[in-house]
Structure 1
Amino acid sequence: MKHNDTYAIGKDGVKWGPVERTQWLALQHVKRSYSDDVLSQLDALGSQFDIKEYARLDYASGALPVFSLSSLTWDKSKPNVLITGGVHGYETSGVHGALRFAGSAAHEYHQRFNLLIVPCVSPWGYETINRWNPNAVDPNRSFCKNSPAPESAALMELVSGLAFIMHIDLHETTDTDNSEFRPALGARDAVEHKEWAIPDGFYAVGDTLKPCPEFQKAIIETVEKVTHIAPADESGRLIGETLQQKGVINYATKALGLCAGLTNARFVSTTEVYPDSPKVDAENCIQAQVSAIIGALNFVDENES
């Protein structure tokens, strides 16, 4: 399969250079408002969170601020928990799930944990409904030394020096993975990326080096109360990875530069919601993300020693 048979930019067998990246960027347009959808919700959360602009990301289209929400009752004697959304800005329920949790359920956990919530790591990606940033770089492959993504570098700087017991990173797997993002990745890197079966339902991704199966199981069981869990495909896999247990696969998070590998937290999970399923709507997807956070926190609260 020729890469340019499946994607309009680039030449077969040739990685993208500045010209192709510029061509790609010219095709991206603002489709929704980060200010209206995300920033507008922050004022209402000021009564229970210390809200800080931790970075301002300078894009050619204009600068966009990114914010963190931390518990007002931050206490060094409590364990720290990190909740991130919108590393891939187009994955809507991750952003709004983090905000919904902050506004609806976080108050139940402030006494037990120090919560640090970053609802939208990649605001340009949110506005343009993109997996990549304007330089055609994937922030969720860029949590590494000398990160090529300013979105990732800013988050790394925010959490530097902090130890976390838990990190949950909120994502989605969408039909556009096959229709847009994997073809674009293949063209950019001059590597063929075959389509994979998009899982119909929620699943979680653990860390290969510290999979914590009981922790992942607790997330699945909590989410299952509000939405359906993705079944394995005919080969017993989800997105090409071997199923570890119901609704759970593992990734090498640090080696791949994933956000879930950002910290050295003992308990780590990446959520994956499928918003294109005929069985769900936008509200159900948000509820699934909130349930995942709650299931994770309850497990750590009951089992952390």
Structure 2
Amino acid sequence: MIGIRLRSGPSTMWGPQLILIYNDAYRPIPGPRHPFALGKSAREVYSESWHVVGPLLEQALSTGKTVFYEKLLVPLPTQDGVRDAYLNYSFNPIFEDGAIAGLFGSLHDVTGEVVALRKLAESEARASRILQSIGDAVIVTDERACITDMNHVAESLTGWSLIDARGELLSTVFHIVDEKLRKPVESPADKVRRLGTIVGLANHTILIRKDGVETAIDDSGAPIRDDDGKLSGIVLVFRDITERRLAEEVALQERARAFEALQQAPVFFALLQGPDHVFTMVNPPYLRLVNNRDVLNKPVRIALPEAAGQGYIDILDKVLQGEPFVGWC
């Protein structure tokens, strides 16, 4: 759709032929057909538009009723050919000796407004589609932390529909507590407004859904700023980490069992991590081997300085790079 920049202008359509009589303000409407249009029948001047406006004007001329339409799509002549325009269209009957002698009214071009609103609607629709396609839960608020939008994942995790949640404070819909203390956790929106930056939740945060179901989550909140840099809203992204938490607990339990088994093992055992070969786990036989020295959480070079001169660390470096080593003399 190509918009036309027209000024509003009054005109008169006189007699049964609807002869056009207008002033300078109306001249952009007939466009290149001015001055030919002056004194000619509107049916002739606006032949391309007559299937749209003709029935309306003919009805007003025959019944004496006012014609008024908003954002009427009308093809109009321009220097580049016929183009579509959206007009606020208003015509009133003119009476002479009690009979309808013609029509008087004005046209106001609102094409720019219609196109802008359409682009805004398309932009909002696209943003909504993107929001719904995100796998994490997303909630958007205004600068007061009142909810303006949320996706289906957020609806599922909070138990609130967007219709019910819109306009509510985030703290009402996004009800979070500390898993252990069972005390409310500061709303990410409040934290964003206080710090003015991206924030994350503390560990062990629980989201309490509308029906009371609890879900372990992590999240991040970020400010939305306008062109002047002022806070205009907040976006909150969060996810269900219940499965991850369960997997972590299982891993911890397995590590604890492995640690217990190694503590009982009759062989020397030490677990080293990182390029500095830091002792993270040792069993009693190994401690006795090193004369019960305090080696935990210390690099080999510091815990066992005598080993450095025996090539021990060189061997550990090679093992760390994936080269196996068996035996020690």
- Please indicate the TM-score interval, normalised by the length of the shorter structure: under 0.3
Higher relative contact order at CA 8 Å, sep ≥6: structure 1 or structure 2? 1
Q: Which has the higher strand share?
A: 2
The normalised TM-score by structure 2 is 0.17
TM-score by length of 1: 0.18
